[in-house]
Structure 1
Amino acid sequence: MNNSSEKEKLNSSESETIEFKNSLSEMEQILETVSAFTNTKGGEIFIGVADDGKINGVTIGKGTLEHLANEIKLNTDPKIFPNITIEEINSKKIIKVSVEEYPIKPVFTKEKVFLRVGKTNQKASADKMRELITKNTPYHWDSSVLSEKTILDINKDKVKSFILLSNEERNSLWETESDVSSQLNRLNLLHNNKLTNAAILLFGKAPNRIYPRSIVKCAKFAGNEPIDFIDMQEIKGTIIEQVPDVLNFIRRHINVTVNISGKAQRDEIWEYPKEALREAVINAICHRNYEDTGNVQVRIFDNRLEIWNPGTLPKGITIDSLKGDHRSHPRNELIARCFYLIKYIEQWGTGTNRIINACKDASLTAPSFEIKDNDFIVTFYKATGETKSSGVSIRLNETQKKIVKFIADKGSAKTGEIQTHIGISRRVLNRYLNEIASILDWNGKSKTDPTGYYTINKNVEIEELLKF
């Protein structure tokens, strides 16, 4: 026994984690405190100590501790087995009951639930009890059933395509000709012949009508603030279909170079590593909190790219642990299982490490991970300098292609003419023109010459440039 430590506690007053009881005759209050401590942060009950901290001591017989332990065990649900010890302070014996916070809440005593609030025990309201149950009962939204939906709401072709891809990627050896109900049952997407939320998101005919929050919102902003956007798109469809569609939107709005190496297959080099973006997009769609009414968002700025995912990190996972070895804790287990079967994800908790390593291999600043307003955000940062190598040509985004094609078709074009044709602000157009200045020639006395015009540099292969 650490006398100095116990004396220090007894010299202080009652608190959120310390309770004094004068004698064992206060059993009702002792049980209430055990319930309160287990449902809050845990704590210690000192029996034989008055409310003012005066040590009166308690008479301890042969079966005293056993009787106390039995009283607590018999009158708590789930049954609590605290650590009970005898302490001696100032030649007087007291009993210390050490109670840990219980992982599964609520803990009842005599059909009541208590919480520790400050230095008092308060009976939990019905709303508070429901909250404790919701927080501490294992629950996965994606496995909940939709009673009003039937197998007719499932796209059979999408299920068949999934099975074929699973056989190819994981050698699953599933029978593609089995009926849809059998396939969904095998994937645990049917419960008592009722569709789960995951079934609708993965294979539904109209998943976005049922769950508008499953739409992924993508935007390319002008500059580095989310104020003026150049392009915006809502990515709809099943969550499996959304992944390539989101990546196609990103591809249109970042710089992509083409490595012309003489091979039939041209290698594309994305401004941000494609494999890292793919991993982040899949993680956001797979692991988001679908009970949150927000949407997954992709925000593309001039200097960075952000992927916003509704929902905080699972219990036991921190921002720091994401940067090292950590276990996989999928929020949506059924969705994660299906994504694994088609090699969208692995199940080793390595996704964030692959994102970091891909950026490192591309000589980019490491991406940042943060929690903001109940959203998990991954931010990729643009390279500060440009690298050029032989055999690599610039790839234009869709707006830049329109600019180049317009100038090429006319032979030359003034800034105002380009602006009218493209339909964007002068400020945004000037930024695009600056980005592709290496393939344009400006013909004018000065940059602000109203009679000046753009032409395409004679060394540029326009057809090749517009092909990708």
Structure 2
Amino acid sequence: MTADEIAQVVQDGETMYAEFKSAAARPESLATTFISFLNTEGGVLWLGIEDDGTVSGVADVDAARQRVDQILANNITPRAAAFVEQVDAGGRRLLKITLSRGLDRPYYTQRGQCYVRQNSGKRLASREEIRRMYMAVRSFFFDESVLTGTGLADVDLPFFSAFLAAAYGVTEDTHRPEEELTRLLRNLKCMAGDELTVAGALLFGRQPQRMLPTARMEFARFEGTVAGETILDRKTIEGRLPQQLEQMESLLRLHLRDAGVIRGFEPELQAELPPEMLRESLTNALVHRDYSLSAPVRVILFEDRLEIHSPGQLPNGVTVDNVRAGIHVERNPIILSLMSKLGLMTRLGTGIVRIFRLAAERGLPEPALEERVAEFVVTLYRMPLPARSLEQ
């Protein structure tokens, strides 16, 4: 930005969409401003401009960036994100912190206070405003988001045609007119206007990671039972969601042992972890993850367990106990619907329940469910080594 542009920002003063803060502002002060923008229409916080418009600057930009990241992660519930950029202003450095309207409204402080914007400041939200935020958020899902610059040329048409045939009994036809293809994709909410949605790219895109770089899976196998320096294998898996699922299943089959059991008087080999249990766990991670976060699904294999890390905490109001009981909130309903039509899962919310049942039937330790910072982790425990006879 030019000096004149900065001068114009100062002259315009604090507004509904802009606020000034000293670089020495307390974390609580910054958090309440961030929250007010997230809960309303978004806005910009200028760090390094005093309330009276004096450009005081930011002495240590890197430290200030880290401070902002920590506030967004630790002082706001649910966790928020912002775009932070350095701006030079007449020899002084500022941070321009841009926040879009939050997808997980309402946002709260650590003390449970909810703020919204009002003219050039902020105020506590009323109970009715908080209720409306909940209602508005439930009507929007990230997998409906439009991916700017995409179009029909980004669709894998043979796969889409095969999907229509499998899901709806439509005759496969790779030469449909563009108008018909666009109409079908819109009806499935895989296209909005002439651009693909997140769901459309992940299910039918030719190169989904070109449009959504972190919508991938990362595999790592560590020696022992902790994440140490010795990595026995590491892979990045990309492609459409069904492709990612298939490739990860194949990779795990290579790394997991077969377990020996006795049927009658004859030894029999079984997969160490039931394939159905693996599929349910991996599919849940792909379908229910938060695609607004720039992070992949991580699958980590240790000597005693398999951990599946899905980006994003549980949606508002859902607890680990709810998930275990089969109660769920659909974070990505379009993706879920399409994966169901492909026969890769059901919409009944019984996946986690089935995982626990399969573990019990096989005599495996009970799986663990854990909500961590910005992710949900499912842990499947392997059989203790002495029980793994007849290994491959």
Question: Do these two structures clear the TM 0.5 threshold for a shared fold by scoring above it?
Answer: yes
Question: What's the offset of the Cα at 1:187?
Answer: 1.6
Greater RCO, CA 8 A, separation 6+? 2
Q: Is 1:173 equivalent to 2:174 in the alignment?
A: no
| Structure-2 change in CA distance of 1:255 and 1:381 (3 Å) | same
Distance 1:214 1:340 in 2: 19
The corresponding residue for 2:366 is 366
Q: How does 1:354-393 map to 2 (within 5 A)?
A: 354-384=354-384, 386-387=386-387
Distance 1:289 1:346 in 2: 19
Query: Contact 2:147 / 2:211 at 8 angstroms: preserved in 1?
Result: no
Q: Which amino acid aligns with 1:369?
A: L
Question: What's the offset of the Cα at 1:271?
Answer: 1.1
The corresponding residue for 2:234 is 232
Query: Contact 2:190 / 2:201 at 8 angstroms: preserved in 1?
Result: no
Question: What's the offset of the Cα at 1:217?
Answer: 0.1
Question: What's the offset of the Cα at 1:338?
Answer: 0.3
| Structure-2 change in CA distance of 1:210 and 1:382 (3 Å) | same
Distance 2:117 2:294 in 1: 32
The corresponding residue for 2:23 is none
Q: How does 1:52-451 map to 2 (within 5 A)?
A: 124=118, 136-137=136-137, 138-166=139-167, 172-177=168-173, 179=176, 180-227=181-228, 228-257=230-259, 269-326=270-327, 328-384=328-384, 386-387=386-387, 394-396=390-392
The corresponding residue for 1:409 is none
Question: What's the offset of the Cα at 1:118?
Answer: 9.7
1:178-204 CA-partner distances (Å, limit 9, x unpaired): 733243233221222321111111111
Question: What's the offset of the Cα at 1:177?
Answer: 2.5
1:200-243 CA-partner distances (Å, limit 9, x unpaired): 11111111122111110001111111122100000011111100
Distance 1:189 1:276 in 2: 29
3-state secondary structure, aligned to 2:343: coil
3-state secondary structure, aligned to 2:253: helix
Question: What's the offset of the Cα at 1:252?
Answer: 1.1
3-state secondary structure, aligned to 1:307: strand
Distance 2:235 2:303 in 1: 18
| Structure-2 change in CA distance of 1:124 and 1:380 (3 Å) | farther
The corresponding residue for 1:31 is none
Q: Which amino acid aligns with 1:229?
A: I
Distance 2:155 2:342 in 1: 19
Distance 2:225 2:119 in 1: 48
Distance 2:216 2:301 in 1: 17
Question: What's the offset of the Cα at 1:124?
Answer: 5.0
Distance 1:105 1:246 in 2: 34
3-state secondary structure, aligned to 1:320: helix
Distance 1:157 1:252 in 2: 30
Q: Which amino acid aligns with 1:184?
A: L
Distance 1:126 1:278 in 2: 51
Question: What's the offset of the Cα at 1:279?
Answer: 0.4
Distance 2:185 2:311 in 1: 27
Question: What's the offset of the Cα at 1:126?
Answer: 6.8
| Structure-2 change in CA distance of 1:177 and 1:322 (3 Å) | same
Question: What's the offset of the Cα at 1:314?
Answer: 1.9
3-state secondary structure, aligned to 2:380: strand
Distance 2:342 2:212 in 1: 23
Distance 1:239 1:212 in 2: 13
Distance 1:375 1:302 in 2: 22
Question: What's the offset of the Cα at 1:147?
Answer: 3.2
| Structure-2 change in CA distance of 1:242 and 1:281 (3 Å) | same
Query: Contact 2:269 / 2:390 at 8 angstroms: preserved in 1?
Result: no
1:118-139 CA-partner distances (Å, limit 9, x unpaired): 99x9975779699978775332
The corresponding residue for 1:44 is none
Structure possessing the higher radius of gyration over alpha carbons: 1
3-state secondary structure, aligned to 1:220: strand
Question: What's the offset of the Cα at 1:373?
Answer: 1.4
Distance 2:210 2:302 in 1: 30
Distance 1:127 1:177 in 2: 57
Query: Contact 2:146 / 2:192 at 8 angstroms: preserved in 1?
Result: yes
| Structure-2 change in CA distance of 1:249 and 1:354 (3 Å) | same
Q: Which amino acid aligns with 1:309?
A: S
Count of paired positions: 271
Q: Which amino acid aligns with 1:230?
A: L
Question: What's the offset of the Cα at 1:322?
Answer: 1.9
Question: What's the offset of the Cα at 1:151?
Answer: 0.1
Distance 1:163 1:304 in 2: 38
| Structure-2 change in CA distance of 1:304 and 1:126 (3 Å) | farther
Q: Which amino acid aligns with 1:249?
A: L
Question: What's the offset of the Cα at 1:148?
Answer: 1.1
3-state secondary structure, aligned to 1:349: coil
Question: What's the offset of the Cα at 1:165?
Answer: 3.3
Structural RMSD (CA): 3.5
Question: What's the offset of the Cα at 1:280?
Answer: 0.6
Question: What's the offset of the Cα at 1:325?
Answer: 4.0
| Structure-2 change in CA distance of 1:240 and 1:276 (3 Å) | same
Tell me the TM-score normalised to structure 1 length: 0.52
Tell me the TM-score normalised to structure 2 length: 0.61
Distance 2:186 2:112 in 1: 50
Question: What's the offset of the Cα at 1:163?
Answer: 2.5
1:46-100 CA-partner distances (Å, limit 9, x unpaired): xxxxxxxxxxxxxxxxxxxxxxxxxxxxxxxxxxxxxxxxxxxxxxxxxxxxxxx
3-state secondary structure, aligned to 2:384: coil
| Structure-2 change in CA distance of 1:384 and 1:127 (3 Å) | farther
